[in-house]
Amino acid sequence: MFKYLILINPLGFMYGSAGAFLSPENLVGRSGSKFPPEAATLSGLFFSVNQAQKLWDEEQLSNNLYVAGSFWAKWENPEYFYVPIPWTKIIAENDSSEWQIRNRQWHNNNSKLEPYYQWQRINFWNHTAEEIRSNGYAEKSPWQFVSVLHPHLKDDERCTLKIDDAKGGLFLEYSVQLDPEYCLVYLSTHALPDGWYRFGGENHIVEINSFELPDDSPILELLSHCC
């Protein structure tokens, strides 16, 4: 089904979510830290671009567009992107364990082991937790969160609202900084034209490139067995 990887490079900070607002009555709080954006965000961008550029028939796009993600990869090797480690596999720095079904119940010989890594390379999907760990194909997220306090602006001029105005004066969000050696990755049945786009609810500028998977891609072979 999937033929393309959509590679997204944030041009600066992105935000994890719209999050909770601070008000004069509540000056302690922060937004959620959900990141990266879900596949639905990219689907919305496809339809927004199509309205402006008329690349596809609207009905056909609605019926045939499929997007999966979000994942991430190194720019030098985007085909072998990283996917979340299944909850049945626990991979720590120097050890690993797995949950297995025995006599219709879940068992784990080392259930107290805490996971250190959250992501694994896609081409090691069918390997054991220990094979993934010992071969170095488990990773932590390549981004970090930084809390940013924003003033609310008036709708008709670039002046901040007073703290006692209806909207309140401040709100707090998580800004997300992605390591420049990495990019966000989504699987897609369609390709977007390469370029700069506004992406997500905050309309941050990102650079997007579409990477067509070759017919002999081991990733396509793996997906054909999974789907």
Look at residue 225 and tell me if it is in a domain. Answer: no
Look at residue 30 and tell me if it is in a domain. Answer: no
Q: Which of 134, 142, 144 has the alpha carbon at shortest distance from 92?
A: 134
pLDDT in tens, 60-90: 999 999 999 999 999 999 999 999 999 999 9
Number of domains the chain contains: 1
CB atoms under 10 Å from CB of 12, counted, come to: 10
Look at residue 150 and tell me if it is in a domain. Answer: no
Look at residue 24 and tell me if it is in a domain. Answer: no
CB atoms under 10 Å from CB of 32, counted, come to: 13
Q: Which helix (H) or strand (E) holds 48?
A: helix 39-53
Look at residue 108 and tell me if it is in a domain. Answer: yes
Judge if the upstream peptide bond of residue 224 is cis by omega within 30 degrees of 0. no
Look at residue 223 and tell me if it is in a domain. Answer: no
pLDDT in tens, 179-206: 999 999 999 999 999 999 998 766 789 9
What's the pTM value of the predicted model, to 2 decimals? 0.83
Domain that holds residue 101: 81-142
Tokens of 7: 């590679």
Look at residue 127 and tell me if it is in a domain. Answer: yes
Look at residue 138 and tell me if it is in a domain. Answer: yes
